[in-house]
Amino acid sequence: MNKKILVTGGEGFIGKHLVKRLRADKYQEVSIDKKTGININGKKLEGIFKKHKLDCVIHLASEVGVRDSLKRPEDYMQTNVIGTYKLLRLVKQYEVNQFIFTSSSSVYGKRGGKKGFEETDKLSPISPYGITKMVAEKACEITLKNSGTHLTLLRFFTVYGPDNRRDMAVFQFTDDIAHNKVIQLYGHGTRRDFTYVDDIVDAIVRSVKKPFKFEVINLGNSRPITVLKLIRTIEKYLGKKAKIVRKPLPKGDVPITFANILKAERLLGWKPKVKVEVGIKRFIDWYKGEYRL
């Protein structure tokens, strides 16, 4: 448990939960984030590698969000691809034993069979965000090939929970309902594989404990629900009805995300524990406390 781990994006939504868990598990954690003055494109980054003998790097830092990537594709390329590549060079130079890259279901695009998206599926992203994650995955594979660094690529599916980013569906819907604003419901029957943040963090920690030479692993709830059902669940625990306006699915959004997690079960012994009903109630309880409702 005494591994020294660098977490990039440690002040972000998932990063905060991960750092808390690593500290509880007695890992030696080093966290960086652009909010604290050190980012993956900055000159201070190499100083972290010089100062600390790192055993593992968990790379969470990223420009995120499908729709925003349509407006700022250059920013996404700069951070998600070039920034990741600079980080990889340091990982290789300083002979870090393990690198865990956090990717996204957006790399799959609209593809996927009845059993969900599988790691072996052809990648066909339809947004700049998905493209940058796909390219970054390949950069990880190529850069660290034939090195001593173990590489795990984790593809996340629609993560939510306390401290959720304000631009994500669970937070936006909750906030809009709480303040009597109209919810814009995009697409007809759109389904998402909502995955609770504690389950994601648990899978990351399990990955730390099992350094694979190279593996790609999906992490999702594997029980996609309609976005409308999500809204109804939020209504239930918030105690308020939503005002809904339906709109067409925006460019870059996919009609469904659905993780096939058989590989995660087999390699990590991992299954998501938190059902959406339970996770949404936990989020609503946090939201009420945070915003004094």
Q: What angle do CA 236, 240, 245 make, to 5 degrees?
A: 100
Catalytic: which of 27, 76, 129, 287? 129
The Cα 273–Cα 279 span in angstroms is: 10
The Cα 83–Cα 69 span in angstroms is: 16
Q: What single-letter DSSP state applies at residue 158?
A: -
The Cα 9–Cα 85 span in angstroms is: 16
Q: Which residues of 58-92 are buried (b: 16+ CB within 10 A; e: fewer)?
A: bbbbbbbbbebbbeebeebbebbbbbbbebbebbb
Active site residue 129: yes
Residues with catalytic function:
129
